[in-house]
């Protein structure tokens, strides 16, 4: 399914709800600039939440390779965009992932796809961090996984406290990353340019 051209059931119903929301906001949904907006928003929301229809575990297992490499594999600076479930406003930033293989590796692009799948759902950053870590741990069964997410939240910048330069950092780890030395090595490596 191409999320830009094929849409899930319920698109028309969703558009009618956005039509009603425009009215409730005091707008005229029939004026020229807004006549197509409800359907545009419905399509955009389906694209932004396409992760609900994708299986992150399958993405990893489709590119699983036996390899006796047992040192840290890091994929850093993975850009992501997500929607905060509390305000339906974007949050975005970068994800850094490390794992220590235990007989199997996966294609590097698959790590970024896992990030995309979980970020294309209504989210909170803490859950996003944990879901990425859990998926890699459960699927690859490595010696350890660590995930760090750094993000800016529009709900903090556009509304509420309006703190424009704030960045939220979350992390989650398992296995070998329970050792401070291993976590420190990962953190030092992701800070290098």
Catalytic sites, residue numbers? 84-87, 125, 153, 155
Alpha-carbon separation of residue 55 from 22, 65, 86, 121 (angstroms): 34, 19, 24, 12
Cβ partners under 8 Å of residue 122, min gap 6: 49, 83, 84, 85, 88
Phi and psi at residue 45, in whole multiples of 5°?
A: -65, -40
Cβ partners under 8 Å of residue 51, min gap 6: 116, 117, 118, 119, 120, 121
d(CA 81, CA 89): 10
Give the bridge partners for 171, in sequence order: 148
């Amino acid at each position: 399914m191409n999320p830009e051209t094929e849409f899930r059931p319920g698109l028309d119903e969703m558009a009618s709800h956005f039509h009603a929301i425009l009215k409730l906001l005091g707008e005229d949904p029939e004026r020229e600039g807004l006549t197509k907006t409800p359907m545009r928003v419905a399509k955009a929301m389906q694209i932004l939440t396409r992760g609900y229809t994708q299986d992150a575990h399958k993405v990893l297992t489709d590119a699983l390779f036996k390899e006796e490499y047992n040192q840290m594999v890091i994929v850093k600076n993975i850009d992501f965009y997500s929607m905060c479930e509390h305000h339906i406003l974007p949050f975005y930033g970068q994800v850094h992932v490390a794992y220590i293989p235990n007989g199997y590796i996966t294609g590097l692009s698959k790590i970024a796809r896992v990030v995309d799948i979980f970020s294309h759902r209504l989210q909170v950053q803490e859950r996003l961090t944990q879901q990425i870590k859990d998926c890699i741990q459960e699927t690859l069964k490595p010696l350890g996984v660590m995930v760090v997410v750094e993000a800016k939240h529009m709900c903090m910048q556009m509304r509420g406290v309006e703190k424009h330069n704030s960045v939220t950092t979350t992390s989650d780890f398992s296995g070998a990353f329970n050792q401070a030395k291993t976590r420190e090595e990962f953190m030092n490596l992701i800070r290098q340019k």
